[in-house]
Amino acid sequence: MGGALPARAAAPKLLVVGDSLSAEYGLARGTGWVALLAARLQREKLPHEVVNASISGDTTTGGRARLPALLKAHAPAVVVIELGGNDALRGLPLAQTREHLAAMARAAREAGARVLLVGMQVPPNYGRQYSEDFARSFADVARAEKTALVPFLLAGVADRPDADAWFQPDRIHPLAKAHPVMLDNVWPVLRPLLGAR
């Protein structure tokens, strides 16, 4: 009995397109929520291979420009979009942020991926109306594009009474101890997207 062994099926890819919150800015390698996600997938014996295509400082404009090549290179089964915070920091128009997020969600879906949009909030010193509109933008895009949604990546971190103790000195980037909390915000919404395709 001879013959070649059947080729092992390639692991489905889980692509994360994010900014510094996903790119381990200021952290030791392997301590950010995306690395912790890869470890959890292994523990749960899920076959997905995580591709972290996050870049510190990236905006929705940059993510939208980068996404087609990433979709072509990796053919992901799941795409996690964690962008928008830098748009707010730069004062970019909300309509532009929404347009870019929606275009990314559509492109990922059309490439055959399931999509998870990860929401962000900005401090009230941006003005109450802007803060509310910004937070609502993620829910609006998720509803319109029929994607899964994590309303606020930093829930349980930025809204803690002792939040200052959970952030790096810039008060923007969370410390390593916050990243398991961030993963716990993402996991319950992400897990159903990882089923058999």
Active site residues: 20, 170, 173
Q: How distant is the alpha carbon of residue 31 from its chain centre?
A: 16
Q: How distant is the alpha carbon of residue 182 from its chain centre?
A: 10
What would the DSSP string read from start to end of 113-176?
-EEEEE-----GGG-HHHHHHHHHHHHHHHHHHT-EEES-TTTTTTTSTTGGGGB-TTSSSBPG
Length of the chain in terms of residues written = 197
CA angle 150/153/157 to nearest 5° reads: 140
Measured in degrees and rounded to the nearest 5, phi and psi for residue 150 equal -100, 115
Q: How distant is the alpha carbon of residue 95 from its chain centre?
A: 20
Rg over alpha carbons for the chain, rounded to the nearest Å, is 17
